[in-house]
Each structure stands twice: as C-alpha cells, then as structure tokens.
Structure 1
Amino acid sequence: MRDSEVPGPRPHQIPALLRLAVSDPLRSMRQTVARYGDVVRLPIAPGRSIHLFCRPEHAEHVLVAQQQRYGKAFTYRPLREWIGLGLITSDGELWERQRRLIQPLFSHRRVLGLQPLMAEAVSRTLDSWDRLPDGSVLEATEAMSGLTIDIVGATLFGADLSGDKDRVYHAVESLQHAVTRVVKNPLTWVAPRLAYRTTPGYREWDHAKSVIDAVVARVIAARRARDRGDEGRDLLDALLDARYEDGSAIGDRQLRDEIVTFFMAGHETSANSLAWTLYLLSTAPAVRERLEEEVDTVLAGRVPGPEDLDKLVWTKAVLSESLRLYPPVWTVERDAEAEDEVGGVRVRPGSTVIVPPYLVHRHPAVWPNAEAFDPERFLPERAAGRHRYAYIPFGGGRRMCVGNAFALIEVVLALAMITQRYRLNLLPGFDPAAKFTVTMRPLHAMAMSLHRRG
C-alpha cells in the first residue's frame, strides 16, 4: 500500500492532532482510531511517520515476529534520566548482556520461592488495618503502593522499606509527571537531555530522583556491609553474585540502574493493578461475592501457600480482566531500524510505531462488549481460541517484562489475602478517569471505606 493510500490525517491536520495528544493522549488515540481504523499513519516529516497499530496480529508482528527490526522509541529517552539504563530503557548490546544476566533470576521456580516473604509483607499491611476502626477510609492507590513497596523491599532486596512508603509514593508520582512533560517537549526528538533541562519543574524532579536514589543506595550499602554467607535469598544477593560470560561482576552504576528499574516495575505497576481491581470489584457485587466464596473455600482462613495459587482460578480471572481494562503499561512504542511492512503498510527506518495495549485490549473484533468488566472472559472455556496477542499487559517477545511471573504471583496473593479479611467499598462520587503517564494511575483520589469481613 502506498503512503498516500494509508488511512490517516493529512499533513495540515497533524499540528491539531499533536496538540490533543499532548493534552490527552488516550483521547487522541481513540479519536484517531475511530476515524481512520486499526492502521493509521501520521506523516510528521519527509520520509518519517508515526504509525498506530491496534490489532493483535499487529502486536505480534512488531513485538515478536519482526522484533529485530525495532528498537526502543525516542519516547523512552526522558525515562533514562530517571531510571538510567536498566532493562526497560537499554537497547542493543547492553540490553542483550543484561537480559542474559537477569532473566534467570526471575524464573517461575525462583519467584515462587519468594511467595512466603510476599505473604508476610501482605500480612503486615492487613495487621495495620486491623488497628483501624471499621469503616475507616483509605486512599486505595496510595495504600496499594505502600503494600507493594513493602513486598518489593522484603522479597527483592531483603530490606524494610516501611518507613519510606510515603516519600517513595510521592517521588514516583512526581517523576512520572516529569517524564510525561518532557516527552511533550519538542526538543525530546533531537536533544533529550536539553529537553529535560528546559522543561519547567525539572529541579523538583531532580529532588524526587534523589529520594529514590537515596533509598536504593542505602539498601545496597547495607547489603554489602553485612556478611551474606550462603543466603542468596533475594534479587539483590543474586545480582551481587551474578557474573557475565567473561567472569566480571555487574558495575556499581549498572547495579543502581537495574535496582531502580526493579523498584519501579516491581511496585508501581502492581500497585496500580490492585487499585483498579479494588475499584472494579466495588462496582460489581456479584463478581466480588464469587471472589470471596473462592478465597474462603480454597484457603479456609489460612495464609495462602505456593500450592494454592493455581486453585485461585476466579481470583486470577478477576485480575486478568482488570489488567485488560487498565493495563499499567498502556502504550508501547518502537522506532523502526529497518524497513518493514505491518498490516499492509510500509514502515520506513526512523519512523515510530505505536502498539497500545489499552486499545488492543478493547478491540471489538476480539472482545465483545469490550468496555464491560467481565472476568469470565479469562476462564479456560472462554479464553480458548483467542489470539495470543489480544492480551499483552506485559508486552511480548524478547522484550516482554522479565518480572511478569513475580508481578502475577504478587497481585494474586495480595488480592486473595485482602479478600480474606476485608471488603473495600468505593465512596460515592469517584470519577474513574485515568492519568496517562509512564503507567496508568487513577487520575483522582480513590477513597474507599474499609470493612472487616465476618
């Protein structure tokens, strides 16, 4: 298909569309797809375009089948100012080297061994709730962030981060806001560091980054100062002991970048998933009652063990449907490094390809009544035959999130244990609009009343 035949706005329409994308990126995407279809081309310069692809087969092509033709998009550059060159932001040889080193540390068997530590962290949060009067009000997003920070600290770093919860939550919020604003700065295309320094508010963001760095530095220093013996229980031990093919250890800077990356990915995305799930359950009493019945039957009042996770079928379905509707990583961008053809459309080197999980997860050809919260979609009998890449909350291909097994065990365990002891009810007036930054957080405070179950 020739460029002139590809659906999309004409050059004179691009400035208005980009202005809308800056102010409301999801609305911009949805309007564009509604008008032009699943394949859209936005010409932004001679020989360079932005392509929007929204079908599962497009996701499979870009993220899996032809992934070698694509690298991290320019939109990830501002994120490097925050988390450095960890697995999320690195590319090329560095990414290959780090992936080979780190992927074995997140095997399902190894992560399952961390389950007891996760359960202890969740119990600490629930015990703190026990000291509150029944009907107390929690801000769910912040509460889930505190919970997952505790889980990450205990399981990945063997550290007590309970005293850091509030400042880490606000620092991460500030830094996500920073990244989003910098991406909207036109200089990001040509000079990302200059874009960062010319975007209003960057000094405040530098302070937020220093908060995260101080926590990470303290954790690393404490681990190096103690006699670790043969423990090797968590990720930090494994990273300190890991060796590349040439026998060398990971350097201090790279260690910092990877720890910050896991800190971000291990708590922020899971916290958002749990918060959105609590919101959805509060709007669907029948779904929540079925969840409570399963948890009560399978666990019979005890703390879940690794052997229980596969039995929590409805719990997993609820979380999968929540991740479908509110994928924490709501958009994936790649820059074409070689010529390609996607959905019959030519993609030239240097062009940017956008595959948004948010829209793939709502494609009407795959997901009937796509806006509805219906966990039954993820029961085995309903999921059979669905396109494998119709559901991509963790991406796909070699760049699929390395911590997906950790995240899934973490959120299933947390939701089951919360459901055992508490029911959270959304207070009237909540607007479920989303804030589209690096991850997809609720835009407004999610106030929920906390009630002990009998």
Structure 2
Amino acid sequence: MSAPGPGAAAAPAAVTGLVFRPLATLRSLARYGDAVELPLYPGHRLFVLSGPRHAEHVLARHQDNYLKAFTYRSMRAVLGTGLLSGEGETWRRHRRLLQPVFTRRNVAGFTPQIVEATRRMLDSWDRHPDGTRIEVSGEVSALALDIVGRVLFGADMTGRTGQIARALTLLLPAVAIGTFLPFLWGPRSTRAIRAASERFGGPLAAIDRPVRQLIAERRATPTVDGPPDLLDRLLTARDEEDRTRLTDAEIRDEVTTFMLAGHETTATTLSWCLALLSAHPAVRDRLEQEVDAVLAGREPQAADVEKLRWTTAVVNEAWRLYPPVWTIEREAVRSDVIEGIPIPVGSTVAVPAYLVHRNPAVWPDPERYDPTRFLSDADRDRYAHIPFGGGRRACIGAGFAQLEAVLVLAMMTQRYRLELTAGLPRPLASATLRPGRRLPMRLTCRP
C-alpha cells in the first residue's frame, strides 16, 4: 500500500511550496492523511508523517534505520559538526561526554544563575515608565544568551550579548537553507548551500571570535569550585572507551552549537508564551494567581517548578502550537514499512512536529490555545508532543530549556504584564519556529 499524495502534475508545486511556504504547504499536505508521499526530485521520494506512531517509529523504535537527512548539510557548513548536526560515532562520542552536564540533578543546580540573570533584566525594566513599549524578542534573546553564557560556559556575556545575538539572528537564514533548499535540488544543492554559508561569513566570524575567547579564558583559568560546566567537560573529559579528548575544532563546534540552540530555543519559547498570554487574558490571570500563591513574592527555587503546574502547562501549550524543532528529516538507510506504508531505501522521511501537534485524532480542536491539555495525565501517545524530538537524538538540553522557560516566565509574571501592541504574529518557519515579525509589547507593573 502506497501513501496518498499530490499526483505527478501537482507534486512540483507542493515541493516548491515546502521551500517558500512550508507551514501552509504542510497543512495542505496533511489533508491527504497522516502519511503523505510525493516525488522530491528524480529518483527520490519524500514521506511526510504526522501521526504519533509514525514519529515513534522513526525517532525511537527504528531510529538506527534513519540517519540525519541531507537537509542538515548547511547546518554542518555553518555550525560545524556538533551534537545538533553530527552523526554516527562522532555524535555518540560527544553525547557520552556531555550527557552528565544535563542530568536532572545537575540541571536543577542551574536555577540560581537563571534567577540571577532574570532579576537583572527585570531590574532594568524597573527603570522604564509604566506603559513603555519594549521589543520583547530582543529582550528575551539577550536574556537567553546571558543565561547560556553563565550556565554552560561560566562566562559573563555582558557587553557581548548584543553583538552575538545579532550575528546569530543573521546566521539563521543560512541554517534554514538546509531545511528548504535541498527540497528543490536534492544533494546537488550543496554548492548553493556553501555559497550561502560563505555569504554569512561575517556573522559567523562575529560568533567565532568570542567563542575562541571563551575557550582560551577557561584554559587559562580552569574551574576550581563547583561542578564542571559544559565547557569544562568539553576541555577536560576523556572518552570512556578510547580515552581520547575532543579536538579544538570539535570544542569550537559544540560551543557554537550550544550558543545558538540554547539561546534561540528559549528566546523563541518566551516570545510565544508572552504573546499568547496577552491574547488570552483569562490564561494570564490564572498564571498570575498561581505564581502569587506558590512564590508569595519571593524568587523561585528549583523545588518550586513542580508546584508551578499552570506555568509549565502554559509553556507546553506554546511548544505544542509553535514547537522550536518544527520539523525533523531523516534518510532511510534500509527499506522499511511504517504503519503499512513501504519506505524505499534512500527515501527522505519528514516528521513535522508542527503537524503532529495539530493532529486532530490526538488533539481535539487543535488550533485552540488551551494549556489545560497539559494539566492531567491524559491517555495520550507519548510521541504526540515532541517539541524537542525523541529517541536517542532528542535534544540533550530539553530539561534545561523547560526549567529556564518556567523560571523566567514565573519571575516576569510576578512583576509585570506585557500587552501586544498589534495582533498575534504569524509564525516564521526558519531554523526554529519564531514570530514572523518584531514583538513590541507594552510593559506595565502588576497591580
């Protein structure tokens, strides 16, 4: 049984749509069903799978049969071979080295640094007159970069956040080419990807300089007190199996990757949370009530996160509607069958979280914003909510991202309300699913 999809005459328009209008095109393809097949280019087929069982099959149960697709080539060209873009034994080795940084206990230990960075941002907001308009995306971007610097690299990013954030923002289009451009020309697009990466060499150099500086400073002054952070692990850890260390290039690639991924994911999440709360005052009122009851005016601690259930639900619902990792592509290294659909060897398989999270068989009224979906242990498939992927390749920093988003959102809610000055923005499918325009919001003190 083959999967339904656009016929030969309509397929080119669908493929072009995936490049220039990816979200609208994905929703259009979903009308064919949870599994859609279309010719990508001569001799190669694309399968778009949007059911939780499809996601589990590709990302977990049969993950060894599905490697990173050629769509990740530009990510490697821009960011190097870090955890986000690496594959095979190199990826497994790096994952083994870095996993101890992101254990549940270690992540909870990041709380004081997250709280301190957020306090500094909120204190700077206190200097604004009530009703001031601020550009929220830029504010939370700088905050997220500050937190990543302090938590993962033990570095004070003050004075560098603006430059690095601008450079990272300019790099995102080059990274996004890896998702879009190959759909038109397949592996032959590599030359165009390299050309685009060279075009963005200025922003890449702007990041490379502080990254090298961070590494040099840590080598000169190693961490003495406290548990090792990510940079310590990168510089000193030896592989348990072959006792080798990472090369300078590997260290640089991982620092750059975590700086981009750790900053962009949180900034995007907080932007969507604040925009959605402004558009749904009843949800925001309940959030304020919970934060006031749990924290009683004090700053949050790690133990408070479990009590902030509505705050966590608000974050999860934002991730459902606007997942940071909005699509995942894999290449089948052997022929397979997924839910009765034959997948030829070499085919590209896309699992868009954007569609999985809107699957009406799992999520009733899927376009409705409703954090109550995450308040109960509903009998829901584990792979119905995959904002950070799944299986062994699930984002190593997912727990850190959730802790950070809940803590920052709770602290913002304690002091301020933020109101949209325009309507809810449309999403832009780039390297992440970010608001498609700047996000000016009116800042007012809580009554």
Specify the TM-score bucket, using the shorter chain as the normaliser.
Answer: over 0.9
Deviations 1:170-224 (A, max 9, x none): 212211112234654458633555222444xx55411011111112111111111
Matched to 1:217, the amino acid is: R
> 2:153·2:229 contact (CA, 8 Å) conserved in 1?
yes
Residue 325, structure 1, aligned to residue 321, structure 2: yes
- Counterpart residue identity of residue 66, structure 2: Y
Q: Which residue of 2 aligns with 1:349?
A: 345
State the one-letter code of the partner of 1:14. A
CA-to-partner distance for each residue in 1:57-116, whole Å, 9 max, x for gaps?
A: 111111111111000011111011111101110111111111111112210101111111
Instruction: Give unpaired runs (5+ residues) of structure 1.
Output: none
Contact 1:51 1:351 in 2 (8 A): yes
Structure 2 CA distance for partners of 1:265 and 1:44, relative to 1, 3 Å: closer
Contact residue 295 and residue 420 of structure 1 kept, 8 A: yes
Distance change in 2, residues 1:183/1:235 (3 Å): closer
After superposition, where does 1:7-18 map in structure 2 within 5 Å?
7-18=4-15
Determine helix, strand or coil for the equivalent of 2:444: strand
Task: Verify the 8 A CA contact 2:324 2:432 in the aligned structure 1.
Answer: yes
Question: Paired residue for 1:208, among 203, 211, 222?
Answer: 203
**Residue of 215, 218, 222 corresponding to 1:223:** 218
- Of residues 186, 191, 195, the one that matches 1:189 is 186
Match of 2:81 in 1: 85
Which amino acid in structure 2 is aligned with residue 241 of structure 1? T
Matches of 1:160 and 1:84, distance apart in 2: 24
Q: For residues 88 and 222 of structure 2, what CA distance do their matches in structure 1 show?
A: 36
Match of 1:26 among 23, 26, 48: 23
1:27-46 residue pairs with structure 2 within 5 A? Answer: 27-34=24-31, 36-45=32-41
SS of 1:93 mapped into structure 2 = helix
Paired positions, count: 445
> For 1:160-171, what aligned pairs fall within 5 Å after superposition?
160-171=156-167
In 2, the alpha carbon distance for the partners of 1:182 and 1:266 equals 19
Aligned to 1:386: 380
Q: What whole-Å deviation, never above 9, does each CA across 1:281-305 have from its counterpart, x for those lacking one?
A: 0011111011011101110111111
User: What does the per-residue CA deviation read over 1:28-54, in whole Å, with 9 as the maximum and x for residues that have no partner?
Assistant: 1111112x1111111235652100111
How far 1:398 sits from its partner (Å)? 0.5
Aligned partner of 1:434: which letter?
Answer: P
How far does residue 409 in structure 1 lie from its aligned partner after superposition?
Answer: 0.5
Q: Is the 8 A contact 2:71 2:178 kept in 1?
A: no
Q: Residue 129 of structure 2 aligns with which residue?
A: 133
Question: In the TM superposition, what is the alpha-carbon distance from 1:230 to its structure 2 partner?
Answer: 4.5
Aligned to 1:418: 412
Q: What residue identity is the alignment partner of 1:453?
A: R
Question: Which deviates further from its counterpart, 39-48 or 212-221?
Answer: 39-48
- Alpha-carbon distance in structure 1 between the residues aligned to 2:219 and 2:198: 31
| Aligned-partner SS, 1:354 | strand
SS of the aligned residue for 1:295 comes to: helix
Identity of matched residues, % = 49
SS in 2 for 1:11: coil
Unaligned runs of 5+ in 2: none
CA distance in 2, matches of 1:419, 1:45: 49
Distance 1:242 1:19 in 2: 45
Matched, 1:117 2:113: yes
Matched, 1:239 2:234: yes
Whether the aligned pair in 1 keeps the contact of 2:181 and 2:189 (CA below 8 Å) is no
**Which aligned pairs between 1:43-442 and structure 2 lie closer than 5 A?**
43-45=39-41, 47-181=43-177, 183-185=179-181, 189-191=186-188, 193-199=190-196, 202-245=197-240, 246-380=242-376, 383-427=377-421, 429-442=422-435
SS in 2 for 1:334: strand
RMSD between aligned residues: 1.6
